């Protein structure tokens, strides 16, 4: 007869993290099994229609009723979340700007030299990837009016005509 150490099905594990994960998974499965058993017992009690009810059975019926309401609320919440996610649509990843693409100021008003001056100061502070900021026309006009270099520029007058 082989000893325990020589058994080909048993080997000593040194990866403690995977062993802990395994035991956590076992605990989770055991808890799930016990919850299912309790749920089945409560459902049986809730369905029983005996005339003489002792206080224990009444308490179990109440607990079963609460459990069913909780499950129903969870199902409604899950359905609402799925509906909201479907309404939003698939998640899109934002594209990273490459150096040849226009920066945030040029994106709003085209590739004019004034826009590159305005957006150049913000892109020099950022490291790594560039951040695209979207603004509406009213905000852009406000910005152009406040800046000394662009307060009387042709770009400002063109945006005011739009």
Structure tokens at 108: 């709003």
Contact 156, 138 (CB under 8 A): no
Mean pLDDT value across residues 153-159: 86
Residues 80 and 38 in one domain: yes
Residues 118 and 79 in one domain: no
Top-confidence residue, 2 or 29: 29
What pLDDT shows up at residue 161? 84
Residues 25 and 73 in one domain: yes
Question: Residue 119's closest CA among 105, 135, 99, 138?
Answer: 105
Q: Say if 11 falls within a structural domain.
A: no
Domain count, the chain: 2
Residues 23 and 78 in one domain: yes
Residues 72 and 111 in one domain: no
Q: Is the pLDDT of residue 131 over 70?
A: yes
Supply the pTM of this predicted model.
Answer: 0.34
Q: Is 128 left (phi over 0), alpha (psi -120 to 50) or beta?
A: left
What pLDDT shows up at residue 74? 92
Residues 26 and 82 in one domain: yes
Q: Which domain holds residue 54?
A: 16-88
């Amino acid at each position: 007869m082989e000893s325990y150490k020589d058994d080909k099905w048993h080997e000593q594990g040194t990866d403690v993290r995977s062993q802990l994960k395994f035991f956590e998974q076992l605990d989770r499965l055991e808890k799930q099994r016990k919850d299912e058993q309790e749920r089945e017992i409560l459902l049986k009690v809730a369905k029983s229609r005996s005339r003489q009810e002792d206080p224990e059975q009444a308490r179990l019926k109440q607990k079963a009723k609460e459990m069913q309401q909780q499950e129903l609320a969870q199902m409604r919440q899950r359905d609402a979340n799925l509906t909201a996610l479907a309404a939003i649509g698939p998640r899109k990843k934002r594209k990273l700007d490459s150096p040849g693409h226009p920066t945030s100021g040029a994106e709003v008003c085209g590739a004019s030299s004034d826009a590159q001056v305005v957006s150049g100061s913000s892109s020099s502070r950022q490291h790594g990837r560039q951040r695209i900021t979207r603004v509406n026309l009213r905000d852009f006009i406000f910005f152009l009016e406040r800046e000394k270099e662009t307060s009387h520029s042709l770009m400002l007058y063109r945006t005011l005509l739009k």
